[in-house]
Every structure is written in C-alpha cells, then in structure tokens.
Amino acid sequence: MQKKQIILSILFLSLFLSITAQVKEAGNIIIGKKFTIQSKILNTTNDIQVYLPNSYSTSKEKYPVLYLLDGQRFFTNAVAIQKSLRSPIALPEMIVVGINSKRTTRRPLFGDRKKYTSFLKNDIIQFIDSNYRTNKERVIFGWEAAAYYISKMILQEQNLFSGAIVSDGGLASEKIIKEFQSDKEIYLYIANSKKDIYYVKSTEKFSERLKQINPKNLRWKYELFNDEVHQSLPQLSLYKGLRYYYHNYDALVFENISAYEKAGGITYLKSFYKERAKRFGGDEKIAESTKNSLIWLARDHDNFKYFSFFMEEFKDVLKTKRYASASWQYRLGQFYLKHKNYKNAIKFFEAGLSKYPNTNFEIRMKKGLKEAKSKI
C-alpha cells in the first residue's frame, strides 16, 4: 500500500513538473522610452517618458501629442487610456509625453510660469517635434500645482497648446482671461470635487470668471465629481478631459429618439459631421454607425414615423453588409407589416426569400409575405 502511494506521488510530481516546465519568461512589457534632458533654462536635469502609438513604426502619419506634467504619476494612466479606448476610434492615436518632476521642487518650478513655459517650448516640445512625427496638435494635462500653472499658461500661450486639462486646482485672474485672444478654438477642461476642500474654491472662482467674461474662441467646461477625492480624481479627469477635447472625433450615438430630437435632428447630424470633417479631415457624410443606430432605435422603440424617415434618408446603408442577411430582411419586413405598410413589407420579405433561401426565417417570411399580399 505504501509502495503504491509512493508511485502515485512520483507520477503526480512528474505530471506537475511537465506542466510547469512549459511556462517560461517571454520578455518584458515595454510601454515607452525614458530620456534625460539637461535644461539650461531651468539649470536642472529632467527625465521624460515617451510612448509611441501602435501604428507609429508602420506608418508615415503625423500624430497629436499629449503632454503630462508630473509624468511620474500619470504617464502609465495616459498610456492605458490610449490602449483601452479603442484608439483610433474613440480617440486618435497620440504620442504621450510624461514630464517628470520632484516633489520637493515641483511647486517652485510651476510657480515660475515664464521660465517653465520657456522650458516646455525650447527643451521639451522642440525635442519631441524634432525627433518624432508630430502634427503640432498638443494637449497638456496638470494636477494640483500644475493645474494652476496650466490655467494661466493656456490663456496666454494660445499657439503652444490647442487644449488643456486641469484637475484639482486652477485659477486665472480676470485680467488674464480678458486678454485671451485666439483665431482658433482653444479647449479647456476643468475638474474638481467638493471633497477636495483645499482647492475647490479656486476652481469655482475660475469657473465663475470664465462664465462672466466668456472669452471668444475659448471652449471650456467645468465638472464636479464629488465621489472622488484629491488623490483619486486626476485619473478620471484625464479620461474625461480627453473625451471632451475629442468630443466630435467618434461617431454620434444617441440613447433614444428624444435625445436625437433634442439635439436638433437631421440638421444637427449634418452640422456635427461637417464640423468633424473640418477639424479632423475626411468627408462630411454621416457615419454608417450613426445611421444604423438610429434605424435600430426607431424600430426598437416602435416609432414608425422616424423609422420610415430614417429608412428613406439613410437608404444607402441598406446595401451594406450589415443588412445582407435573412434575419434583417425579416425584421424590416415584419416591422413594415406591423404598421400596415404592406408595399415595403412585401419588398423586404421577397428580397429575404430570394437572396437568402433555406434559412430559419423562411417559413416566417413566407407567412408575412402571404399576409401582406392579402391586405393589398
């Protein structure tokens, strides 16, 4: 009995080792490169981290750049947003640059606004633009002390960045806000929490001044996330700020027909895609995904008025692969039948039967076709 147990133990151990022996280290996961820059402007040595998009090595495209102050805290978070947000669908692919700082010196550095801006321009941005394919579209992110620096800098250096995201801090004087001038739209996103008791008053004041002065060509938004605290908000702010800056990059999606009507209907759709094309290139056509979703919403919410309108307005998508199936021909035919539009019901049932024979929908389509024809 004891001998049998020993043999079983040896067999089990052999099996275990044969399984674990197949596991081996395959390499490191690397998300970027680190550089050290000797700055004569600041008279310091500064580390930066650089992430390149997945397509960078295989394309000749030029990319926008996201700059992060306190990069040692937020670089990996920014890269994670890039990699997880279906880039380049919800957001364009971006080069990400984290500018590291030291806890003991960051406040004095950000406080000397003129010198730090010169450092950004002549040391950091010049290095990035000289060594990587950039399209001169730049967004900058800052938290706490960096947020106060960016709030003023973005209003005074309009040609340096096209957008700024500030979290847990931020304020600019009325004079600086009134002197803001730009011939193009500059984006500013501000986020804070009522639980950030040390900084929320300044962002509230900043928001009130922006609201009262309403500078031309400054597109700004202030949001509170009161479930968050000082340390947890910046990651969320970065995500929300990028979504705000690229608000019209992704295709439009509505949660219901009421939202579509409230936005302005077909007029709004056309103006949205016209602005989108102007900003990011491409044509002004309404995206197929938007057309498909509106047809779906109208059908799903039993709104035949809008269903009929969308089916006519967006009839080009009916020729796409999405609708090339018996199931879709049946759904569309059945919806027309339900609302006594027998002519279109016959059209889709007949198309489904002729183009996609011998499917699970065949009996139901024949039944629907027979009923529609009997009503004419």
Cross-strand pairs, 44: 39
Domain residue ranges of the chain, discontinuous segments joined by +: 33-245, 257-374
On the question of pLDDT at 109 being above 90, the answer is no
203-259 pLDDT tens trace: 999 999 999 999 999 999 999 999 999 999 999 999 999 999 999 999 999 999 999
pLDDT digits (tens, 9 = 90+) for 243-302: 999 999 999 999 999 999 999 999 999 999 999 999 998 889 999 999 999 999 999 999
CATH number listed for the domain at residues 257-374: 1.25.40
Q: Which pTM was predicted?
A: 0.87
**33-245: CATH class:** alpha beta
